[in-house]
Amino acid sequence: MRNHLSTLTLLALLPLSACASSGASTADGDVSAQNASQPAGPAGGASAPAPKASLEKVGIVAPANYAAVALWPEQFAGGFSIVEVLPHGATVAEGDVIAKLDPRAYQDERHRMELELRSTEIRHEAVVERNKLDAAAAALAFEQSKASLERAKRSFEGYKKFELEFDKRQEDLSKRYEQANIEDQVDELDQLEKMYKADALVDATEDIVVKRAKRSLDTTKLGTDLSIDRRKYREDFEKKMSFAQREESLRAQEEGHARLEKQQALDAKSRADGELRSADSLNEQRERFAKLSRDGNLLELRAPRAGVLLHGSSKDFRPGRNAPRYERASSLATKTELFLVAEPEPALVTVDISDADLATAKTGARVAVQSLVDPSEKTQGTLSIDTYPRTASPSDATYDARVTLDAPLSGVVYGTRAKLAIEAGKVDG
């Protein structure tokens, strides 16, 4: 019965609907009839209603255009701690001091390196002067060795050319003297014998004189034989030995001079290498001191541009991150972003996108942005998602994403939250 009544009600309403359609066609004419046959939209002259957001997220208001301040010391390896610092969110001009660092550790390091540099300079000067003295002494020793070798050569040549000849002539002369002495004594003995035979001297006196002459002659002959043997010994042994010794001495002196020349060449190379190393060490020490001197400029951190001072790095303005707040005695890390100087009004919102969100959120999607601190501040922007995930687990992965705003959020501060409505299928371009 109930189904039957519903059918009757529907049939009763059909004529009323037909009348309404007929009235509309009469009032609007052919244009209305044409529009009724086409879907309503921008082409039909009426503005299309905004599509409903298919994904809502909460992001963090972050700087889009900024200049980072970091500590990049060239030489100083000590710690950096803050003495004075401007508060987070302060407005700064280009060149303003945003932080002053404790100089004590740096000054101690600079004083120590300055002493080391001075010691290195003194050692290098000593090496240079010592090398000059050693080079002069080596040159003098070489000249003395060369002169001594020349004298030894001349002496050996004189020995071969003159002394041996003089010895030979002296031996010949000695032979003649000995031979003449023997001949003279033989003649005297013959003369004595003849004289005594004709003389009237007694036989005893004659015998004494003749015997004396004979003994003298025999002694002279023995002396002559000894001289002959000695000359033969000298000729066969002493002269050859002396010649060999002189020749060996000259050869040893020549080898010693050549060895001295090579040794001095090696010593000269060693001195040059030592001086080069000393100069290189001095240059390195000077370069390190120059780098350390330049590191002194880091004791005052200045704003690289005008804008709003933010403590922390750009990565700290992401969901789940906490930007630091530096104060007196805070320690600063090196080679990382410490401060940011950004535009006064934010133009970027960072957000995390999960694997499940990727089915709806795409790079280029349009996003409606509303500040959660000041809900009256609204704008739109374009979504951009990193290709590779920041973190991944067996259950899910997280991608870094950011929304570049069409217009900045006036009066909204960095680090606050913003509501994001990501439109499904709405992609720029």
pLDDT tens, residue by residue, 300-339: 999 999 999 999 999 999 999 999 999 999 999 999 999 9
**Which residues have a Cβ under 8 Å from the Cβ of 34 and sit 6 or more positions away?**
none
Query: For the chain, what is the mean pLDDT?
Result: 84
pLDDT of residue 143 exceeding 60, the answer is yes
- What letter represents residue 311's amino acid? H
Q: List 417's β-bridge partners, or say none.
A: 60
- What single-letter amino acid sits at 246? R
Taking alpha carbons only, the member of 382, 403, 387 closest to residue 317 is 403
- 339: which strand partners? 69, 311
Mean pLDDT of 20-26: 35
Residue 259: the pLDDT is 95
* Closest-CA residue to 60 (of 311, 321, 309): 321
Tracing tokens 């606050």 back to the chain, one arrives at 416
Q: Sheet holding 97-101: strands in order across?
A: 300-302, 97-101, 80-85, 331-332
As its CATH architecture, domain 51-96+303-427 has Beta Barrel (2.40)
Q: Is the pLDDT of residue 47 over 90?
A: no
Mapped onto helix, strand or coil, the DSSP state of residue 428 is coil
Residue 26 has pLDDT above 60, yes or no: no
Positive or negative, the CA dihedral 188, 193, 198, 204 is positive
335: left (phi > 0), else alpha (psi -120 to 50), else beta? left
Domain coordinates of the chain in residue numbers? 51-96+303-427, 108-296
